[in-house]
Structure 1
Amino acid sequence: MADPVSTLPLRVSASSPWRMPLLAGVAALAVIAVGSAVLPTFLVNNLVRSFLYAALALTVDLLWGYTGILTFGQSAFFGIGAYAAGLVFVHAGYTPLHAAGALAAGLLGAWLVSRAIGWLAFYHGASPLYASVVTLVLPIVLVQVIYSGGEFTGSSSGLSGFDSIDLPLEAWFIIAGAFLTVLAVVAWMFVHSDAGRLLVAIRENESRCEYLGIDVSRYKARLMDTCALVAAFAGFLFACVQMVVAPEYAGFVFGTELVIWVALGGRGSLIGPIVGALLIDTGSAYLSGDLPYIWMLLIGIAFVVVIVAMPRGLAPLVADGVRRALPRRRGP
């Protein structure tokens, strides 16, 4: 008997206004192209990083917000992609062929680790708690591997100062912004497709999905594989533009920050985690230097308040406010 998931069409529902996100994506790309020329250099540099972080937050939202898999391991996949670039460029030098090899190695490494995590977390009758525990341990183990690598991995100091793809900062701004925009549009179309609706069904009633013949474990594993590849690609871009990699980018703290950004922005909304990541990371660049402890305290307080008072985050609250502000249609 064929797996219902593998045969389910990725067809966007006819009732969904799928043209709107495509138009919004085109508009976002236009704004990004203009912004690269008019924004100050400091902000452009920070937004390049924030765009890549927002892409990571989007993968956390797909896993946690839509499917119910609370994951702390996306930072590890990000680190795998970043260290693949850093290690190749430091020890072999930069050439276009080396860059392609580093990208392939990062994606392959992330996929293999994701396969192992999926097997441990989703198969053999594992409870949903297993996924959280396994992904919690993953970045901790990866950071210890980096530490034990000594001079080869840079240990706790990381790797820096290596040659990379020679592009101006404005070009990296457009590349990172386009990557985030395309990812957001594809993610929106996926979650509104027939196959994407299974995400919410699994989150709401996993047992019923299994009763209906859906291979839930396989579906979760495939989703984690895809999100791992996206995270590794983002990490590769990060290493190429920043020309520095450090254990912190693969660590547990960063993985937890991603979960906080998704919770604050609004899990299960796609746009909420993106806005949350952009605002918090960009704000940190401006405020963490002047208010290093107060800023983190404010983020922590906001996280607690949102979890207690607004479990779905700020995005639904903003959306409700916009709907109330817009004039209602009157009947004929």
Structure 2
Amino acid sequence: MIARDRNWLLIFAVCVALAIAYPFFADGYQLTVIRDALIFGLFAASLDFFWGRTGILCFGHAAFFGIGGYIMALVTLNDAIPFGSLLGIVGAIAGAAFVAAIIGYFLFFGGIRGSYFTIVTLAMGVICQQAAISWSSVTGGDSGLIGIPPIEFDFGGRHVDLSQDLSSYMFVAAIVAVAVLSLWSISRGRWGTVLTAIQDNEVRAAALGHNAPLRLLVTFILSAAIAGLAGALYVCMAGLVAPDLSGLLLSTEVIVWVAVGGRGTLLGPVLGAIFIQRAQQTISSFNPSLWPLLLGCVFVIIVFVLPDGILSIYARLKSLFKGRSQA
């Protein structure tokens, strides 16, 4: 195991330990804040899995988040559907993956890359938001859908109800930890190596026998599926879904979370989302109009001072102390 992997696992273990210990020091409201931030962190990790490994930016990633949220809402609000929570989660994942498969097939096998891919996915996000607004008989229009029940299911002969703050927090934290660790395992294996080769030179990777469009498509589908899962979790915790969840603003914010946390690290975007969400809540409580200005300043500072994101602070400190000890 190389040093970079050991460092990643060490940071991951510390984050898991902090997540487990956090309920002992936080009240119910603080748990819900971090829980929602973790869901957005999962959403950011899903984008980073695609953007960080392929170098291709999806500017409409919130569309998959919104699709997952709306499917979850429609399934759980229908009392005639048994096992609504589980079927809603499965439907959210499958629905987002299906849309990504259709769009990604034409884009990747059509040779669409770079800025053209970014523009097309940007249009996809706008279309999804407008569809949610226009299809009011199903989606509720501008008002969205409210009264979405919390997740509940039977497991091992016991009924699990995630309506409580602690139980919902632990459930979300476990989902995020498993998802991020799984994506990291995929990224550091053969699949991630081939994606890196495609990012460096797609023509050369194809000459070596790798089906680049197919690998990009599968990665895009998996990224969208995780985003759909995050959307499903969020609407059940928030109790509502609205067109803004698939709009341009959220698509822009998730890019900022990934950039602040560190693109290509998977764990960094989760930390970036938590950091930005906490900062937004704290600053907005004093002056709501001040937050957009400060967010822009933070983003510029990160780009110039920490281009690899806040997760690179650990590596910089480690190299600094190592250099001093050698001196």
Instruction: Give, in angstroms, the shift of residue 88 of structure 1.
Output: 2.3
Structure 2 equivalent of residue 85 of structure 1: 72
Aligned AA for 2:316?
D
Structure 2 equivalent of residue 6 of structure 1: none
Structure 1 equivalent of residue 155 of structure 2: none
Instruction: Give, in angstroms, the shift of residue 19 of structure 1.
Output: 7.0
Asked whether 1:178 is paired with 2:161, we answer: no
Q: Could you report, residue by residue, the CA deviation over 1:110-163 in whole angstroms, capped at 9, with x for unpaired residues?
A: 121101121232112223223212211122111111111224311111111233
2:211 aligns with one of 194, 210, 215: 215
Whole-angstrom CA distance in 2 between matches of 1:267 and 1:18 = 16
Whole-angstrom CA distance in 1 between matches of 2:133 and 2:102 = 22
Whole-angstrom CA distance in 1 between matches of 2:310 and 2:16 = 25
Structure 1 unaligned residues grouped into runs of 5+: 1-13
* Contact 1:68 1:203 (8 Å CA) reproduced: yes
* Contact 1:111 1:228 (8 Å CA) reproduced: yes
Structure 1 equivalent of residue 269 of structure 2: 273
Structure 2 equivalent of residue 206 of structure 1: 202
Aligned positions of 1:143-292 closer than 5 A: 143-165=129-151, 166-167=161-162, 168-292=164-288
Structure 2 equivalent of residue 10 of structure 1: none
Change in CA separation of 1:76 and 1:42 when aligned onto 2, cut-off 3 Å:
same
Instruction: Give, in angstroms, the shift of residue 74 of structure 1.
Output: 2.2
| Aligned residue pair count | 317
TM-score, normalised with respect to structure 2: 0.87
Aligned positions of 1:67-146 closer than 5 A: 67-90=54-77, 92-93=78-79, 97-146=83-132
Instruction: Give, in angstroms, the shift of residue 30 of structure 1.
Output: 4.2
Structure 2 equivalent of residue 62 of structure 1: 49
* Contact 2:71 2:88 (8 Å CA) reproduced: yes
**167-176 or 37-46: which moved more?**
37-46
Change in CA separation of 1:213 and 1:185 when aligned onto 2, cut-off 3 Å:
same
Whole-angstrom CA distance in 1 between matches of 2:2 and 2:24 = 38
Q: Could you report, residue by residue, the CA deviation over 1:42-80 in whole angstroms, capped at 9, with x for unpaired residues?
A: 211111111011111112212122210111222111111
TM-score, normalised with respect to structure 1: 0.86
Instruction: Give, in angstroms, the shift of residue 308 of structure 1.
Output: 5.1
* Contact 1:94 1:164 (8 Å CA) reproduced: no
* Contact 2:146 2:239 (8 Å CA) reproduced: yes
Change in CA separation of 1:93 and 1:19 when aligned onto 2, cut-off 3 Å:
farther
Identical aligned residues as a percent: 30
Q: Secondary structure, in 3 states, of the residue corresponding to 2:215?
A: helix
Structure 1 equivalent of residue 311 of structure 2: 315
* Contact 2:53 2:192 (8 Å CA) reproduced: no
**19-28 or 164-173: which moved more?**
19-28
* Contact 2:261 2:311 (8 Å CA) reproduced: yes
Change in CA separation of 1:283 and 1:302 when aligned onto 2, cut-off 3 Å:
closer
**209-218 or 157-166: which moved more?**
157-166
* Contact 2:54 2:198 (8 Å CA) reproduced: yes
Instruction: Give, in angstroms, the shift of residue 269 of structure 1.
Output: 2.2
**214-223 or 146-155: which moved more?**
146-155
Q: Could you report, residue by residue, the CA deviation over 1:243-282 in whole angstroms, capped at 9, with x for unpaired residues?
A: 1111111111101111111112221222321211110012
Change in CA separation of 1:18 and 1:141 when aligned onto 2, cut-off 3 Å:
same
Instruction: Give, in angstroms, the shift of residue 321 of structure 1.
Output: 2.5
Structure 1 equivalent of residue 157 of structure 2: none
* Contact 2:53 2:195 (8 Å CA) reproduced: yes
Aligned AA for 2:234?
F
Q: Secondary structure, in 3 states, of the residue corresponding to 1:289?
A: helix
Whole-angstrom CA distance in 1 between matches of 2:304 and 2:11 = 32
Asked whether 1:42 is paired with 2:48, we answer: no
* Contact 1:82 1:236 (8 Å CA) reproduced: yes
Change in CA separation of 1:151 and 1:57 when aligned onto 2, cut-off 3 Å:
same
Q: Secondary structure, in 3 states, of the residue corresponding to 2:149?
A: coil
Change in CA separation of 1:315 and 1:21 when aligned onto 2, cut-off 3 Å:
closer
Instruction: Give, in angstroms, the shift of residue 96 of structure 1.
Output: 5.4
